[in-house]
Homo-oligomer: A and B are copies of this chain.
Amino acid sequence: AGPVREPNPARVLALGFAGVILLGGLLLSLPFAWEPGHRVSFLDALFTATSAVCVTGLVVVNTAETFSTAGELIILALIQVGGLGIMTMSTLFAILVGKRITFRERLLIQESLGQLSPAGMVRLVLYVAAVTAGFEVVGATLLTLYWWQAYDMPFGLAAYRGLFHAVSAFNNAGFDVFDSRRPSLERFAGDPVITLTIGGLIVAGGLGFTVLADLGRRLRHPRHRLSLHTRLVLWTTAALLVLGTVLVAAGEWSNPATMGRLSPGGRFWAALFHSITPRTAGFNMLPMAELTNLTVLATILLMFVGGSPAGTAGGIKTTTLALLLATVRATVRGEDELVLMERRIPTLVVAKALALAVMAAGLVLAVTVGMLLWDGHSLEATVFEVVSAFGTVGLSLGITPELTAAGKVLILLTMYAGRVGPLTVAVALTRRGRRPRAVRYPEERVLVG
């Protein structure tokens, strides 16, 4: 018997996502998925399916008004399949990476999940699904009870909306089923319960599965030491939440079109929510078109960074940002190794962080050039839209429904690349060993700066 050909996980991932998107696009372009009196073109259906599977949340049509309940449930299923697939695959890659490099992390994850046999894979998916279901059930229950009691929604409607938005929030999808008069979560601006429930689900989903597993272990074993990765993710996430809240508050505090009408407490909650949602949930409580320049800039930056690895969030990731900043500190201090929280970081990890950030910036710039050539919106709205699509955020300054066909195709491809790209790159980096060079070239220095 010849050797068994190993499947290429990067190809499996890319084709699997494409297959689910195509299936979803076909389903959403059938009349049973539409509200009576509405039509959805195949391009719009495909765009919606891509946005759902890639847990982005950019929409060319209002979801509640255009799609029937059946259509909305298809979208919800696409979000859950996409989110679960991303969580599972990225955790799997994390294990593969860990397998090659860190003995300790491998032990941690393998102890929970077993070996990477087919049985271990099934166990991994079930484990991730159980954690996901736990968060979603708790979130849906809280939302249902609150909307039923505090907003006088009928119980059935409150339960449906509670489930939809809990799933959408934990998977960082950003889809909503409120009408276009006050879309997304605008009617809940400044509400502390909604901010904390939906914001909490977003943050939890964005921390990544390895961090959730590490934290869960700490809860069960108080003497368990959190990994460097977990500590780095938690500190960077906290710092970005504080920074984002301050910037959004500075931008909107006295803007009568956004926060100006809220109480000081309400303004705080709205600022906190608008610091959470760009990383990379995509709900909004404040009307996006009315935000000041400062908030728009802060939102673009937060969207570009995004959440943490091995979760449902997009962007270049918190750890990447932390490593870039740590490299600056080390270079300015004249240190020749990168030490963070009393641990040395391997040079190859820093190179990977740098490569990811540069590739992300390059992709955003290239797509923006294409959008400026083939879709005539302002530079600000275009950059915002492209960063939002790449980071699978789903916020928009309002141009998504007005995109040309070329613009829709570009944004659709950017959502796909932003979701699948970094993962497949991670696979490639994981599977390929260091190639020894045939030639050892002489060293030569170059001036920079």
The interface of chain A, by Cβ under 8 A from chain B, is 94, 97-98, 101-102, 104-105, 208, 210, 227-229, 232, 247, 250-251, 292-294, 296-298, 301, 309-310, 316-317, 319-320, 322-325, 327-328, 330-337, 339-340, 342-356, 358-359, 362, 365, 368-369, 372-373, 378-380, 382-383, 422-423, 425-426, 428-429, 432-435, 437, 439-449
Contacts and interface: CB of A to CB of B under 8 A. Distances in A.
A449 B426 contact: yes
Given A101-B445, A330-B351, A358-B328, A339 B437 contact: yes
15 contacts: A228-B445, A229-B447, A294-B372, A296-B379, A309-B449, A320-B448, A323-B446, A323-B448, A327-B354, A328-B359, A332-B429, A336-B348, A346-B445, A422-B449, A425-B449
A17 to B, nearest CB: 17
A348 B331 CA distance: 8
Contacts of A379: 293, 296-297, 380
A156 B273 CA distance: 66
A105 B293 CA distance: 47
Given A294-B372, A320-B449, 7 more contacts: A98-B445, A229-B447, A293-B382, A310-B447, A344-B444, A345-B443, A349-B445
Contact of A97 (B320, B325, B435, B445): B445
Given A332-B425, A372-B294, A448 B352 contact: yes
B373 A294 contact: yes
Contact of A355 (B332, B352, B359, B380): B332
Contacts of A298: 369
Given A102-B445, A429-B334, A444-B228, A355 B327 contact: yes
A347 B347 CA distance: 9
Contacts of A347: 336, 347
Contacts of A324: 354, 358
Contact of A448 (B297, B353, B440, B449): B353
A441 B335 CA distance: 14
Contacts of A334: 428-429, 432-435
A326 to B, nearest CB: 10
A101 B336 CA distance: 14
Contacts of A346: 443, 445
Contacts of A98: 445
A444 B340 CA distance: 9
Contacts of A332: 355, 425, 428-429
A47 B98 CA distance: 54
